[in-house]
Structure 1
Amino acid sequence: MSSTFKASPAASPLAPEGSLLKQPRAVWAVGFACVIAFMGIGLVDPILPAIAKQLEASPSEVSLLFTSYNAVMAVMMLITGVIQSRLGMKGTLLAGIVIIAAFAALGGASDGIWALIGLRGGWGLGNSLFVATSLTAIVSLSTGSVARAIILYEAAIGLGISVGPLIGGELGSISWRGPFFGVAVLMVIAFISLAFTMPKTNKPAGSSGRPKASLADPFRALKHRSLLVFGLGACLYNFGFFTLLAYAPLVLDHYFGYDAHGLGYIFLGWGVLLAVTSVFMAPMLQRKFGTLKSMYAMLTLFGLLLFAMGIWTTTEWVVVGAIVFAGALLGNNNTLITTAVMNAAPVERPTASAAYSFLRFIGGAIAPYFAGKLAEWYNPHVPFVVGGAFVLAAVLVILLNQRHLLHVDKAGAH
């Protein structure tokens, strides 16, 4: 398989071909580990109010559980290529799993909000190694096109994000520590599965004659205008994404009294729609309207949805309905933008993934804390309105640079 992103002229980047389920065991092992790893995002949602109450933390302090996680991921994304070039894909994935399991278990045993915030950062370290490498692993190991591999990857992400709140709600109803210990146990299972089923797909660079990855590679990759634009767009879009994810549970608890069970089921609905649309609806939108137009539509609707949540913050059915429906918009957009990045620049996949993810997670790091502080400084409506404004700014950034992105749509037009 080529190490550069080259769009196929014969098929749409998201066009299905053959059976999606006929994959090597190693692909399913990586996919299973992806499900567990991405549980960590939604798993914390239902227990945010419980953590705030039991550890006597403010909304902005609780939101730092997302900020530390995403901030460490953003920075570490810049060196994952260097690590992978030395350890190989399998070694990097297993190292990431071990770190996630260790910090999740330590988080469950912690007794203070600041200790927990720091340990979530360690969890983000493990996740950065795993996330940056898992997409490359699935693309390299799967049968068929890059497009089909991306759909498998997004399906695993969607399943993990959707199941995470349910498990978080069930275990969190017993104790807020339960979800942390649960992830640690599941990661041990993922480690065993991956260790025995995934082959050594590549040797560390240098031993095979290829140059080792450099810390400067992601920054060089961002010289490609298309990759930079998608990264900046994702950074702005993630302001809205993590405002919804980190702040909305606190609103549901404060105004409507939802406990861990109730929050778990609401975000389960959100995650199910995210998973289903990322696999089934996004390819149809791409084939019918093109990648860019579909992204504009999804992002605009998501921005307007956040505005609605900002206006009717104290109206239960609006907030709950908007959270669940947002899953459909986010699922579509995640697959569309991931596919666009895969075809955006002629650089190696791990390098492009690292550069793009660095920018993307910066938005995810700032947004949760910023949303909590806005609520404290002003009122509970403002975080949603500001999040919506950032999402619409993402549309504007991509739209103003559209001429640099036309090759992404041309790749899908054949």
Structure 2
Amino acid sequence: MTRAQTSQAPSVWRQPVRVWAVAFACVVAFMGIGLVDPILPAIADQLQASPVETELLFTSYLLVTGLAMLVTSFVSSRIGAKATLLIGLALILVFALACALSSSVDAVIGFRAGWGLGNALFISTALATIVGAAAGGSGAAIVLYEAALGLGIAIGPLLGGLLGSVSWRGPFFGVAALMAIALIGVSVLLKGDEGPRTPTRLSAPLRALRHPALALLAAAALFYNIGFFVLLAFSPFPLGFSALGIGLTFFGWGVALAISSVWVAPLLTRRMSRTGVLLLVLPLLVLDLVAAGLVVTSPAALVACIVAGGFLLGIVNTVLTESVMEATDLPRSVASSAYSAVRFLGGAAAPPVAALLWHLAGPTVPYLFAAASVLIAVVIIAVGRGLLAGVDGRAADAADEGAAVLVGDAA
């Protein structure tokens, strides 16, 4: 590449204002995933809820998010991406505020379900919007999306810990305020859809799962997400920290996730196939989860496993997302909806199962359950690797582009 060509290469960080508006909203939306982490023990104590009941705050949110993902492309193809984004943001705002004003754990669980509906409308549409509007191609767009995910997951627990040290209601009020800012920003900065729309059939996401490569990736993601959410949702209980201590722990987890998703994953996929990266990193995640189970009685060692897990999760998140985007010739919103619906269902099941296993067999078993689930994901990808040959071939171009931009910016 000549010096002139290098100087004209688009920077992953030089994006239209509308892309940054959506990316900021993504950060706030993803904060909702880890926001309740630091306040789980406080909610269990102050609302007289068992750990299993408390973990349902994750389950209701993720279950509704997953199921609603099946209709998001149907909705957005009829009312447009901007309207879908705004409705999703408005729902998150309303239900976050409702959570803050609740007086029982059942009410919070129910309002978290409504929050999940808004999250589904926003997340799948936001990914397609960023991919379609970002400069630098799909590789750069996915880097931005994963960076937003990482920042949101990192800031969510930190904000939850800071505000949760005052009151368990504080984090919900904080997200409602930030979501109001995001709602205004997207409303003002994102232009309406141009040109005719092509309506998507309601059955499109389910039909998309008939594609072998997409179905295989979704199945692997389902089991992988069990490991993800056991580490995220169950760990606050055995840690035994205050709300701020839990928040700082998972802030470190989220920072590690963001760093690996933005910088490490593209560098790995520049040198290896995507399935090769998955088959390298997922077994490391299995070992990390086993280690977490073995050292669960040592808070310092468990913190180290949590942060290391975040680093590995960031790589897997990016590689799986890019693989799904390249797995079929279907519209990106349809592929994203189908894949996300399946993977969020895995995440929905994990927290209460982990809490129940803790109650029945001790704190080590939930992590072994998570490790076994991720191991199943490894087997799925290893056995079905032949179906992903096209993913490896097509994804390499996007990965090389995204990685080259990142290396250029860092130099």
AA in 2 matched with 1:201: D
1:223 pairs with 210, 226, 239, which one?
210
Is residue 2:359 matched to residue 1:376? yes
Counterparts of 1:10-409 in structure 2, within 5 Å, are 18-202=10-194, 208=196, 211-253=198-240, 258-409=241-392
Distance 1:157 1:168 in 2: 16
The answer for unaligned runs of 5 or more in structure 1 is 1-15
Distance 1:156 1:354 in 2: 18
Offset, 1:201: 2.8
AA in 2 matched with 1:172: G
Offset, 1:144: 2.0
Distance 2:78 2:329 in 1: 22
Offset, 1:288: 1.2
Distance 1:114 1:357 in 2: 26
AA in 2 matched with 1:395: V
Q: Secondary structure at the match of 1:76?
A: helix
Offset, 1:85: 1.1
Across the aligned residues of Structure 1 and Structure 2, the Cα RMSD in angstroms comes to: 1.2
Distance 1:93 1:394 in 2: 31
* Maintained 8 Å contact 1:94/1:194: yes
Q: Secondary structure at the match of 2:117?
A: helix
AA in 1 matched with 2:353: F
Query: Could you say if the C-alpha distance between residues 214 and 294 of structure 1 is closer, same or farther in structure 2, counting changes exceeding 3 Å?
Result: same
Distance 1:20 1:143 in 2: 7
Distance 1:357 1:400 in 2: 22
Instruction: Between 39-48 and 172-181, report the one with greater CA deviation.
Output: 39-48
Q: Secondary structure at the match of 1:164?
A: helix
What TM-score do the two structures reach when normalised by structure 1? 0.92
Query: Could you say if the C-alpha distance between residues 89 and 18 of structure 1 is closer, same or farther in structure 2, counting changes exceeding 3 Å?
Result: same
Distance 2:152 2:83 in 1: 22
Distance 1:413 1:139 in 2: 17
Distance 2:93 2:194 in 1: 25
Question: Structure 1 residue runs of 4+, over 2 Å off?
Answer: 411-414
AA in 2 matched with 1:135: L
Q: Secondary structure at the match of 1:237?
A: helix
Instruction: Between 404-413 and 19-28, report the one with greater CA deviation.
Output: 404-413
* Maintained 8 Å contact 1:88/1:202: no
More helix by share: 2
Q: Secondary structure at the match of 2:363?
A: coil
Distance 1:124 1:162 in 2: 19
What TM-score do the two structures reach when normalised by structure 2? 0.93
Distance 1:286 1:82 in 2: 33
* Maintained 8 Å contact 1:287/1:412: no
Distance 1:24 1:271 in 2: 26
* Maintained 8 Å contact 1:303/1:392: yes
> What does the per-residue CA deviation read over 1:292-335, in whole Å, with 9 as the maximum and x for residues that have no partner?
11111211111111111112211222211000111110111100
Offset, 1:413: 4.7
AA in 1 matched with 2:234: Y
Query: Could you say if the C-alpha distance between residues 392 and 189 of structure 1 is closer, same or farther in structure 2, counting changes exceeding 3 Å?
Result: same
Distance 1:341 1:394 in 2: 15
The answer for unaligned runs of 5 or more in structure 2 is 1-7, 398-411
Over the matched positions of the two proteins, sequence identity in percent amounts to 48
Distance 2:87 2:282 in 1: 35
Equivalent residue pairs, number = 390
